[in-house]
Amino acid sequence: MWEQWRAWVVPNLGLIEIGMTFFLVIGFCVHQYWKMDRELKKDRAEREAREATERSDRED
């Protein structure tokens, strides 16, 4: 099946289309990584703020 797909698609794609697809996929992966990193940092900051508030409430 791969050979059939490759035999039909690859000759019909130019270098620009292959490059655009490659950069689109890489760009999407970078976007997802960056988005998840921001969410994790936000969650960590919220958790640390909540823990600091709880700590200060216990000390008072």
User: How confident is residue 60, by pLDDT bands cut at 50, 70 and 90?
Assistant: low
Does residue 25 lie in a domain region?
yes
Does residue 26 lie in a domain region?
yes
Query: Would you give the DSSP letter of residue 60?
Result: -
Between 17 and 41, residue with greater pLDDT: 41
Does residue 5 lie in a domain region?
no
Does residue 1 lie in a domain region?
no
Number of domains the chain is built from:
1
Does residue 38 lie in a domain region?
yes
Between 19 and 5, residue with greater pLDDT: 19
Does residue 48 lie in a domain region?
yes
Does residue 8 lie in a domain region?
no
DSSP string, 9-43: HGGG--HHHHHHHHHHHHHHHHHHHHHHHHHHHHH
pLDDT, one tens digit per residue, over 20-59 is: 989 999 999 999 999 999 999 999 999 999 999 988 888 7
Does residue 51 lie in a domain region?
yes
Write out the residue range of the structural domain in which residue 29 sits. 15-59
